[in-house]
């Protein structure tokens, strides 16, 4: 018995100081390679007691436990806040691995981390409410919520929560583009439950196709899997499904393997069209080689419970095909709570909630939005061109030398990132070159407002919305938490760019997205990776880069260990085909 | 890329020859201790092609993929059969670990093995149909089935399957004893889905109790967990739940920990009453020390959606208590398909399907039943006493010397196992002593039928039904497969005991259950173990025995590795509280 107690104590030591112990464990598992790239976050002492409301503390309410909300919570560490997190999911999910969950390459539980595990490490009071936000009442600074547990526990429960600062990070919903029948008959791939449901349905289709009384035609229908949308998610799911079928199911359902058909529909001319052309070409060739039925330029017009109808963009031809399962992965739409909020705050005519470059919801005090639920409404240079000019024109002469801009160049470039992108695009070295470029004909050293406008006229065409990715949401969450951590400090000493239309400086630097690259797993242990600087890598080596990056980006050591061991398990035993 | 291909080939080698490779892996994981006790089954070459019906081959249909059906399938290896397995679950579940699944100590997927993985290793054609058996039509030697996939795949699908031999291994359902409200409001713990549902409900109760608008009274209700039934499953679940709450949830829901109440209701006077008295006493004391509200002698009379009503057996007092979740684990009942079958074959007046000692359904040709769906109707000695006597009385004198029995003793003891149990109970050395014992007053060496009857009169009181455990079902499956493997051989050379009422010998030895001991995990890393020979072990060391035995008994190396790594994960990171 004493022997056992030793073990028990050891385990307690491990639970209290996991980093060192697990480092050892993972080094063994991965040959040390993962450690080099994984973030090393020292575990903090848990302060989990939920205290009473402290009137001096600012109430921060976070809506959502996705990438934006969780990275904000994880990095917020100023003790002057008390935080309430409200979300229908009591966990954070590592969504880029959802396509892997659909086929059992990775288990659902390996990609989730209870939000309370993150919350209990905070130095300030943090409470979590498993509830859905029904309405944001910005006028009264409160949010109205409804508990999301199964109703057999006693019906719906509504409550409201006050805030001083509100962080909206509710993400988006799948966009059906109002195509009839999609909502009722298609699977989406946004939540962990979706992935689990897809997994069960794939097995259901196979099992049902084994029933002896099923006709050949029906069998073919059941084993026709359709993926709508050739973006990274759709492509990865198609690739994973193909691997699942060929690696695992073919040997378990030998009589069915020739009946399986995987169709990938994309409305545009190519799949993965946000990637480099080389990746698109490689992916399309690989899919065709693998026998995946790739149909580009094909728009879905209708879905019934057994049939999907498409229209070819080029020819206008209408096709109907029977299917066993459809996964719909075409884009994102705005959640109803956000649509209603937008109406209330005068953004009703917009498609997506707009924030400024500091992630503040436009026109709102103390309401912020991160991730897929919002876009940054980047201010155009032309809108402020007079103000910028007059800021540089200290003596109000209306005419400036090139040299006179030097005090404001940094601020212009920071406030309007499109300027820098434009200069890079045109291969101009510095702002002076930009100004000179426009007036190359007349070598005039003096610039007036018209010349200035002319020089910057093309700059705003470089303004682009950020993609709706985990990377963006995560960086936004981190950025915002840093602002919150330094709120008082920056209030006293603003560090942002000049206010061209007002006086003084902005409190913070505006949010700037840093693209770290993107992966598109293509199955068969091959991945395409587009890295910063347009560096493209395709093949087996990128797959290992993918493994490394995804392992390192896990939100906790627990999920990191689980994901890595899931990969190892799949490598050794294959994927499980039990219908659970 | 070549580097990767090497890895890929390695993985293929591992998948083809897993035993050796995983031995290495598990030796590392377990320090070698598990290997010593785990069964070593060499993997066979997969013959997965489903061939056409071979008229010479006997059609064996197995209903169910539980312990009985799976162990039968796993051990059947005579090439003269073709097998169809029919079950609503396409996997085998290691049910003794279900209580661990309810709280996340072990993952659901770690305790299941796809039945097709087992089937593809067979040397004969094996097909699996994911369907429920609706009716056994013994007259026409067929079973009628209905596919059990989600109906959105195209409605119900009925089909029938012919058999030459039918193995019924459908298990039992939970028994509610017709207590009102139980079916609608209680959780059962028989299937993997039940365990997953319980897990989600526990988290639901905790999350809902965190909603600020919930009253104190309602909070207490939500966190009152009731377990009905003090058998091994109920006790283990209560213990696991207590551990989950104290080890994991207390730190995540600090404001709720004092509200949690776990009640264990048992109608008899003690819990674990099939175990040794010492275990019962220890368990009851430990539960009381742990703060589990143990109420013995308490019968449930009614359950509503929020309230459970009990009646004290001793005082007749009626109590009603509010609850958040009830887990009902009181015993088993017969499934409707078996009840109907019993009516058809003239067993309508019985409670459970009866088989003979060779596991043949009574009164049926070529229909066998194993596991919880049937009991062995052990033949009583008194029924056959005249036949036994006359078998020994070769010269038909009506009087026998003690010596004359020596030829039939072995057969008597084999055919009527109660004889041996009786002799052991009375501490009699051999059959001769049994005969002498009854006539100790008259030292007569000659035995007539009356004396013989007298000597054996108490023997039949030792007849007991086998418990409804995994161990019994598994042993029955193995026994039956061995009979099937040697069917032709034993047809020619019967090896069983003498037919006392007929001529010749029975083909096979009758089934004999060998009790290997039983565990009752009590939480806090303590387990009670009752081993053969009434050896009792309670405490931390038994917990390690439990770990070893359960790891070794896993049906595949995959589940073994998963279960062991789940334990390791729980040890290091605790249990996960995400609601998925």
**Confidence label for A529 from pLDDT (cuts 50, 70 and 90):** very high
Structure tokens at B240: 């696991």
Backbone angles phi, psi at A459, to 5 degrees: -55, -40
Alpha carbon of A3: minimum distance to chain B alpha carbons (Å): 9
| Helix A18-30 vs helix B557-573: crossing angle, to nearest 10 | 150
Q: Which residues of B touch A192 (CB under 8 A)?
A: 580
Pick the residue of A13, A154, A563, A580 with the most B CBs within 10 A to test the interface with B by mutation: A580
E-state strands within B163-260 = 165-168, 173-174, 224-228
- Fold of the domain built from segment(s) A52-172+334-376+469-514: FAD/NAD(P)-binding domain (3.50.50)
Whether residue B208 lies within 8 A of chain A, CB to CB, comes out as yes
pLDDT in tens, A55-86: 689 999 999 999 999 999 999 999 999 999 99
Q: Which residues of A touch B254 (CB under 8 A)?
A: 48-50
Q: What value does the mean pLDDT take over residues A36-55?
A: 39
Higher pLDDT residue, A155 or A324?
A: A324
CB contact under 8 A, B89 and A579: yes
Q: What is the pLDDT of residue B555?
A: 87
Q: Tell me which of A201-210, A256-265, A376-385 is least confident.
A: A376-385
> At a CB cut-off of 8 Å and minimum separation 6, what does A64 contact?
A86, A87, A168, A169, A170, A171, A371, A373
Contact predicate A96/A550, CB 8 Å? yes
Contact predicate B408/B388, CB 8 Å? yes
> Any idea what the Cα angle at residue B277 is, between residues B275 and B280, rounded to 5°?
70
d(CA A464, CA A460): 9
Overall residue count recorded for chain B in this entry: 580
Could you tell me if residue A266 is left (phi over 0), alpha (psi between -120 and 50 degrees) or otherwise beta?
Answer: beta
Q: Which H/E stretch holds residue B421?
A: helix B417-425
In whole angstroms, what separates CA B575 from the centre of its chain? 27
Per-residue pLDDT of chain B (580 residues; tens, 9 = 90+): 444 444 454 555 445 454 444 443 443 344 333 333 333 333 333 333 334 445 689 999 999 999 999 999 999 999 999 999 999 999 999 999 999 999 999 999 999 999 999 999 998 899 999 999 999 999 999 999 998 887 667 778 899 999 999 999 999 999 999 999 999 999 999 999 999 999 999 999 999 999 999 999 999 999 999 999 999 999 999 999 999 999 999 999 999 989 999 999 999 999 998 899 999 999 999 999 999 999 999 999 999 999 999 999 999 999 999 999 999 999 899 999 999 999 999 999 998 999 999 999 998 989 999 999 999 998 898 888 888 888 888 788 888 887 778 878 888 888 898 888 888 888 888 787 888 776 555 556 788 888 888 888 888 888 888 999 999 999 999 999 999 999 999 999 999 998 988 889 999 999 999 999 999 999 999 999 999 887 899 999 999 999 999 999 988 899 999 999 999 998 899 888 888 8
In whole angstroms, what separates CA A85 from the centre of its chain? 19
**Confidence label for A421 from pLDDT (cuts 50, 70 and 90):** confident
A151-165, A529-543, B62-76, range with greatest mean pLDDT: B62-76
CB contact under 8 A, B252 and A324: no
> At a CB cut-off of 8 Å and minimum separation 6, what does A131 contact?
A86, A87, A88, A145, A146, A147, A148, A157, A159, B211
Interface of B with A in 427-486 (CB under 8 A): none
Q: What is the pLDDT of residue A101?
A: 95
Interface of A with B in 521-540 (CB under 8 A): 525, 539-540
Query: Considering CB atoms only, which of A89, A154, A161 is closest to B218?
Result: A154
Asked whether residue A11 carries a pLDDT value surpassing 90, the answer given is no
**Confidence label for A155 from pLDDT (cuts 50, 70 and 90):** confident
Alpha carbon of A204: minimum distance to chain B alpha carbons (Å): 6
CATH classification of B182-333+517-573, choosing from 3.50.50.100, 3.90.10.10, 2.60.40.1180, 3.90.850.10? 3.50.50.100
Whether residue A212 lies within 8 A of chain B, CB to CB, comes out as yes
Reduce the DSSP state of residue B156 to 3 states and report it.
coil
CB contact under 8 A, A157 and B208: yes
E-state strands within A35-111 = 58-63, 81-87, 91-93
* Domain at B382-462, CATH class: mainly alpha
Q: What is the pLDDT of residue B151?
A: 62
Query: Considering CB atoms only, which of A4, A112, A208 is closest to B525?
Result: A4
Contact predicate A9/B213, CB 8 Å? no
Structure tokens at B201: 């409900």
Alpha carbon of B15: minimum distance to chain A alpha carbons (Å): 6
Q: What is the pLDDT of residue A439?
A: 57
CB contact under 8 A, B48 and A252: yes
Q: What is the pLDDT of residue B442?
A: 54
| Helix B385-392 vs helix B449-456: crossing angle, to nearest 10 | 120
Contact predicate A174/A328, CB 8 Å? yes
Q: What is the pLDDT of residue B404?
A: 79
Q: What is the pLDDT of residue B284?
A: 96
Q: What is the pLDDT of residue A410?
A: 86
Whether residue B273 lies within 8 A of chain A, CB to CB, comes out as no
Q: What is the pLDDT of residue B393?
A: 83
H helices within B85-176, ranges in order?
Answer: 98-102, 115-119
Chain A's closest residue to B25, CA to CA, is A572
Q: Which residues of A touch B578 (CB under 8 A)?
A: 90-91, 109, 112-114
pLDDT in tens, A428-469: 887 878 887 765 555 567 888 888 888 888 888 888 889 999
Asked whether residue A6 carries a pLDDT value surpassing 70, the answer given is no
Contact predicate B72/B213, CB 8 Å? no
Burial of A533 (0-12, 13-18, 19+ CB in 10 A): exposed
Return the domain boundaries, chain A.
52-172+334-376+469-514, 182-333+517-573, 382-462
Alpha carbon of B543: minimum distance to chain A alpha carbons (Å): 9
d(CA B143, CA B162): 7
Pick the residue of A85, A92, A95, A212 with the most B CBs within 10 A to test the interface with B by mutation: A212
Whether residue A146 lies within 8 A of chain B, CB to CB, comes out as no
Interface of A with B in 369-398 (CB under 8 A): none
Domains A52-172+334-376+469-514 and A382-462 share a fold: no
* Closest to B102 in 3D by CA, of B33, B191, B20: B191
Q: What is the pLDDT of residue A409?
A: 85
Q: Residue for token digits 């017969």?
A: B334
Q: What is the pLDDT of residue A31?
A: 36
Q: What value does the mean pLDDT take over residues A279-299?
A: 95
H helices within A186-276, ranges in order?
Answer: 192-209, 216-222, 232-243, 250-252
Calculated CA dihedral for residues B116, B117, B119, B120, nearest 10 degrees: 110
Whether residue B304 lies within 8 A of chain A, CB to CB, comes out as no
CB contact under 8 A, A147 and B89: no
Q: What is the pLDDT of residue A25?
A: 41
> A17-32: buried (b, 16+ CB within 10 Å) or exposed (e) per residue?
ebeebbbebbeebbee
Q: Which CATH architecture has domain B39-172+334-376+467-514?
A: 3-Layer(bba) Sandwich (3.50)
> At a CB cut-off of 8 Å and minimum separation 6, what does B424 contact?
none
pLDDT in tens, A463-514: 888 999 999 999 999 999 999 999 999 999 999 998 988 889 999 999 999 9
Q: What is the pLDDT of residue B502?
A: 86
CB contact under 8 A, A131 and B211: yes
CB contact under 8 A, A254 and B50: yes
pLDDT in tens, A104-134: 999 999 999 999 999 999 988 999 999 999 9
Q: Which residues of A touch B579 (CB under 8 A)?
A: 89-91, 130
Burial of B535 (0-12, 13-18, 19+ CB in 10 A): exposed
Would you say the C-alpha torsion A434, A436, A437, A439 has a positive or negative sign? positive
């Amino acid at each position: 018995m004493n022997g056992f107690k030793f073990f028990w104590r050891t385990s307690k030591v491990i639970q209290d100081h996991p980093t060192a112990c697990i480092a050892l464990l993972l080094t063994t598992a991965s040959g040390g390679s993962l450690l080099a790239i994984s973030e090393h976050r020292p575990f903090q002492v848990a302060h989990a007691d939920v205290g009473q409301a402290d009137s001096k503390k600012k109430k921060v309410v976070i809506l959502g436990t996705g990438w934006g909300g969780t990275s904000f919570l994880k990095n917020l560490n100023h003790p002057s806040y008390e935080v309430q997190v409200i979300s229908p999911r009591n966990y954070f999910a590592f969504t880029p691995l959802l396509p892997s969950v659909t086929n059992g390459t990775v288990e659902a539980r390996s990609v989730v981390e209870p939000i309370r595990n993150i919350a209990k490490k905070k130095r300030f009071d943090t409470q979590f409410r498993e509830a859905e936000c029904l309405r944001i009442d910005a006028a009264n600074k409160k949010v109205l919520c409804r508990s999301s547990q199964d109703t057999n526990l006693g019906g719906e429960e509504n409550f409201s929560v006050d805030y001083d600062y509100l962080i909206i990070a509710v993400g988006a919903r799948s966009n059906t583009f109002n195509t009839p029948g999609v909502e009722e008959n298609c699977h989406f791939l946004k939540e962990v439950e979706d992935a689990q449901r897809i997994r069960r349905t794939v097995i259901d289709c196979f099992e049902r196709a084994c029933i002896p009384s099923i006709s050949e035609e029906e069998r073919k229908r059941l084993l026709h899997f359709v993926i709508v949308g050739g973006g990274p998610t759709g492509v990865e799911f198609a690739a994973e499904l193909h691997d699942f079928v060929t690696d695992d199911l073919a040997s378990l359902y030998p009589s069915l393997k020739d009946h399986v058909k995987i169709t990938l529909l994309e409305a545009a001319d190519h799949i993965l069209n946000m990637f480099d052309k080389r990746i698109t070409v490689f992916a399309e060739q690989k899919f065709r080689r693998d026998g995946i039925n790739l149909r580009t330029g094909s728009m879905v017009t209708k879905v019934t419970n057994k049939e999907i109808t498409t229209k070819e963009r080029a020819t206008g031809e209408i096709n109907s095909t029977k299917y066993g399962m459809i996964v719909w992965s075409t884009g994102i739409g705005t959640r109803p709570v956000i649509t209603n909020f937008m109406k209330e705050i005068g953004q009703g005519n917009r498609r997506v909630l707009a924030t400024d470059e500091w992630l503040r919801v436009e026109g709102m005090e103390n309401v912020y939005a991160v991730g897929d639920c919002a876009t940054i409404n980047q201010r155009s240079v032309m809108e402020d061109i007079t103000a910028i000019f007059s800021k540089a024109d200290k003596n109000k002469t209306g005419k400036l030398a090139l040299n006179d801009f030097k005090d404001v160049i940094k601020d212009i470039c920071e406030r309007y990132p499109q300027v820098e992108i434009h200069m890079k695009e045109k291969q101009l070295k510095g702002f002076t070159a930009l100004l000179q470029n426009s007036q190359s004909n007349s070598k005039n050293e003096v610039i007036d407002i018209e010349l200035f406008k002319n020089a910057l006229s093309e700059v705003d065409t470089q303004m682009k919305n950020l993609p709706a990715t985990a990377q963006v949401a995560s960086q936004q969450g981190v950025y915002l938490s840093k602002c919150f951590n330094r709120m008082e400090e920056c209030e006293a000493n603003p560090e942002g760019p000049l206010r061209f239309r007002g006086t003084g400086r902005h409190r913070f630097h505006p949010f700037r997205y840093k693209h770290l690259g993107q992966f598109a797993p293509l199955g068969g242990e091959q991945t395409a990776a587009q890295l910063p600087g347009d560096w493209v890598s395709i093949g087996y080596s990128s797959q290992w880069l993918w493994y490394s990056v995804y392992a390192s980006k896990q939100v906790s050591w627990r999920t990191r260990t689980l994901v890595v061991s899931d990969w190892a398990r799949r490598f050794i035993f294959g994927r499980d085909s039990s219908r659970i």
